[in-house]
Structure 1
Amino acid sequence: MSKQIQEAYIVAATRTPVAKRNGMFRNVRPDDMLAHVLAAVVAKVPGLDAHEIGDVIVGCAMPEAEQGMNVARIGLLLAGLPNSVPGITINRFCSSGLQAVADAAARIRLGEAEVMIAAGTESMSVMPQIMGNKISLNPAIFAKEENLGIAFGMGLTAEKVAQQWQISRDEQDAFAVQSNQRAAAAIAAGAFRDEITPYTVRTHVPGDGGTVRVSERICDTDEGPRGDATVQSLGKLKPVFAARGSVTAGNSSQMSDGAGAVLLMSEAAVKRYGVTPIARFCSYSVAGVPPEIMGIGPVEAIPRALKAAGISQGDLDWIELNEAFAAQAIAVMRQLGIDPAKVNPQGGAIALGHPLGATGVIRAATLMSAFQRTPARYGMISMCIGTGMGAAGVFERL
């Protein structure tokens, strides 16, 4: 007998501030960041019986080293959740966090759980390089020309997108400047304050007479935005992926550290705990594209997610489109005819950073905060994914 699909609601969301790689979180472990947001999101629902949490699903794009060993289970135990709560780490590269939200919602919609947590954590400071501890590509990739894109670095795929969609260097730099200006303005206005759970970084330094002095720093603001960036200053940067290219460090997303978490409930759990949902999970879609132009992935995923949600693109009021690179974000907006005013109103990954597997959940926290401060009804989170994919999730404010 088939079960009736039930609604899944987001009732709480939070995140750490996002740090630059080797910045304020350079000595913070990713499992500690995860534990921090898991404890914080549970605390947002007073009286919640943590034994009811059906699973903790955590996205991580490089689940190895300090963020390996099923970081989801380790993080939830460090957070003080009951031993009875299970945890699983998932990886779909840059959409891992959004995938975690979708998977958690699916468990609730199918009636398999009443309370779920979706989260993401990533420390690009602890990883020796962006591709992890050991790169071991299958030699068969190089046997056929059509498979070579699998081995392309992300920057090179952005160059391919810039060429194919004719995105100029000036356009990319102008987009990057706008991202930084929007993010700086949002920080100044306190727009991120409610979604961030401050993190206290403790540093041990030698003191007099063989003593150890402990200094503390409360981190409560995203570290990446460069409000003083201009087209002129970015124009001085050299391309980093192709000698005659247009993609630079200034118009690409920043390597970052951060974590986020959202708490989801069924309608029955919402009523039982007397909480007011922030949003309803509407739909999620993921689609594949040629690996060498992976940045265009959202062009395929977004229409599918909108169709599944039963709305049109024009119904979207707030769009969190991950800015892996300015070139691909511009190409996606141009290809789909998306209103730029609705995209990343508070800046995107070029300014705010992109801690890979955590980004989807971090941007979910931003969207949930926007829902509570603005009249936006429908919001979407979307991103491109390495090896040629795109993902998109649609949410409705309640």
Structure 2
Amino acid sequence: MASRINTIAGHLGPSSGNPRVDRLTAKHADDIVVTCAKRTALGKARKGAFAKCSSDELLIATLKAAKKDIGIDPALVDDIVIGTVLTPGAPYAGRAASLTAGFPDTTPVQIVNRFCSSGLMAVQAIANEIRNGEIDIGLAVGFEHMTANPDDGAPKLADETMAMQVGQDCAKPMGWTSEQVAGEFHISREEMDAWAAQSHNRAEAAQNSGIFADEIAPVTINGTVVVKDDGIRPGTTPEKLAKLRGAFAQWPPSQTTGGNASQITDGGAYVLLMTRRRAEELGLPILAKHVATTSIGLAPRIMGIGPSIAIPAILKRTGLTIEDVDMFEINEAFSSMMVYCVKKLGLDPKKVNVNGGSIAFGHPLGCTGARQVATGLNAIKRTHGKILVTSMCIGLGMGAAAVWVNEQE
């Protein structure tokens, strides 16, 4: 009986004094937990660490790193879900890469694509399969090789679609949406450059102090071991960024530049999920609990404000408030949307992207949603916080967000 009481007490854990947080931090055998969350270094497209390899080679390297890091027989992985946006023939590439990397032919592979949230959608797909009893263990992967597969924008859309204003908005470049957000919500160029400089400064400090080493999995490409993000610009200041010309002069207020928008980048990330019961049976470290994920829609022309809608939606679903969240990882698609979302939600900037974001180290479209899990859990471990929210805007007018409970000491 005493042993049983001790077990129950261990699952309940110490009270935080906040009943909303205590409810989520309570431990149950069927919780969906993360036992591994890593990413590759991120390389600048066309000139960075992965510019001279193929898309397949980077995906294989990512899956090889995952196979090494997950700490279990790969035959125990019941499903692999890969989030990618631009990879041509992705179902072929994904299945072939998994076999080449050493996962058995008994482990199936599927591809998911919801633009910039694809990595998070891979995580959600695995979590749902486990929750529904379809699988025991699953690997979620986010991946993009924008060197080989650049984003060329929308294909030719149907005449019926293009006859509608919203259809025309769907065909516009993402830079246009950044200018729409800046103009409609009165975001200044100074605010945008200040956020971008902060992103680079925080990422530079994290890189110099070795923080990223705990989340980056070394991968070997063409005989070179890649372990360092190469897009971070040391010594970035708002004053330096202010000298850059607007990239979209045709769309006022033309405040979006190469310095205050996310970088075009190559990279991969992976997250291993299972139930708490299974993790304990296998003796694996539990990094976090996945609580819930949600996706929302909004007008395509202001797609960047997606997190300002998705975050309240996921907090409502999980019974939390903004004040209950210890850390936010919000994808920095553009500075305009970051400034808006932080102000609209009343977030403390000290809790947002504490080690920098995609403006500093890049946004490989399908990778980011999974990368944020690795980055966020690595960051919150150091502050001993409990509640992490990851979120992003999504092209063509969507947004997504997820809630995680940190269980690292």
Select 1:121's aligned residue among 143, 157, 160: 143
Structure 2 letter corresponding to 1:241: F
Partner residue, 1:210: none
Partner residue, 1:213: none
Structure 1 letter corresponding to 2:59: L
Structure 2 residue 51 is matched with structure 1 residue 51: no
Within 5 Å, give how 1:262-281 maps onto structure 2: 262-281=271-290
Secondary structure at 1:334 match in 2: helix
Partner residue, 1:251: 260
Partner residue, 2:175: 155
Q: Deviations over 1:39-59 (max 9, x none)?
A: 32333343x232221210010
Partner residue, 2:15: none
Secondary structure at 2:229 match in 1: coil
Select 1:310's aligned residue among 316, 319, 326: 319
Q: Provide structure 2 residue ranges, at least 5 long, that are not aligned to the other structure.
A: 1-27
Partner residue, 2:24: none
Q: Distance in 2 between matches of 1:355 and 1:287?
A: 21
Shift of 1:152: 1.4
Structure 2 residue 196 is matched with structure 1 residue 176: yes
Select 2:230's aligned residue among 208, 218, 223: 223
Q: Provide structure 1 residue ranges, at least 5 long, that are not aligned to the other structure.
A: 203-215
Structure 2 residue 35 is matched with structure 1 residue 11: yes
Shift of 1:36: 2.4
Q: Distance in 2 between matches of 1:49 and 1:187?
A: 32
Partner residue, 1:190: 210
Q: Which has the higher strand share?
A: 1
Q: Distance in 1 between matches of 2:156 and 2:166?
A: 19
Aligned length: 377
Instruction: Determine if contact 1:6/1:111 at 8 Å carries over to the other structure.
Output: no
Q: Deviations over 1:348-375 (max 9, x none)?
A: 1000100001111111111222243330
Q: Distance in 1 between matches of 2:92 and 2:402?
A: 25
Structure 1 letter corresponding to 2:283: G
Q: Distance in 2 between matches of 1:266 and 1:142?
A: 46
Deviation >4 Å, runs of 4+: none
Structure 2 letter corresponding to 1:390: G
Secondary structure at 1:34 match in 2: helix
Select 1:63's aligned residue among 77, 80, 87: 87
Shift of 1:316: 1.1
Partner residue, 1:38: 63
Partner residue, 1:165: 185
Structure 2 letter corresponding to 1:40: A
Identity %: 38
Q: Distance in 1 between matches of 2:219 and 2:103?
A: 19
Structure 2 residue 96 is matched with structure 1 residue 89: no
Shift of 1:5: 10
Q: Distance in 2 between matches of 1:70 and 1:6?
A: 33
Partner residue, 2:378: 369
- Closer, same or farther: CA 374–30 of 1 in aligned 2, 3 Å: farther
TM-score normalised by L of structure 1: 0.91
Partner residue, 1:140: 160
Partner residue, 2:296: 287
Structure 2 letter corresponding to 1:7: D
Secondary structure at 1:192 match in 2: helix
Within 5 Å, give how 1:201-212 maps onto structure 2: 201-202=221-222
Instruction: Determine if contact 2:83/2:142 at 8 Å carries over to the other structure.
Output: yes
Secondary structure at 2:53 match in 1: coil
Secondary structure at 1:338 match in 2: coil
Partner residue, 1:108: 130
Secondary structure at 1:234 match in 2: helix
Shift of 1:69: 3.9
Shift of 1:30: 2.8
- Closer, same or farther: CA 287–276 of 1 in aligned 2, 3 Å: same
Shift of 1:246: 0.7
- Closer, same or farther: CA 381–186 of 1 in aligned 2, 3 Å: same
What is the aligned-residue RMSD (CA, Å)? 1.7
Q: Distance in 2 between matches of 1:295 and 1:70?
A: 32
Secondary structure at 2:326 match in 1: strand
Structure 2 letter corresponding to 1:184: E
Q: Distance in 1 between matches of 2:324 and 2:284?
A: 27
- Closer, same or farther: CA 177–263 of 1 in aligned 2, 3 Å: same
Q: Distance in 1 between matches of 2:118 and 2:404?
A: 17
Instruction: Determine if contact 2:138/2:272 at 8 Å carries over to the other structure.
Output: yes
Q: Deviations over 1:53-89 (max 9, x none)?
A: 1210010011316xx3443312211210000000001
Q: Deviations over 1:139-191 (max 9, x none)?
A: 22220223321111100001000011110011101111110000000000111
Larger mean Cα displacement after TM superposition, 348-357 or 310-319: 310-319
Shift of 1:313: 1.3
Select 1:130's aligned residue among 151, 161, 176: 151
Partner residue, 1:343: 352
Instruction: Determine if contact 2:328/2:390 at 8 Å carries over to the other structure.
Output: yes
Partner residue, 1:233: 240
Secondary structure at 2:336 match in 1: helix
Structure 2 letter corresponding to 1:115: I
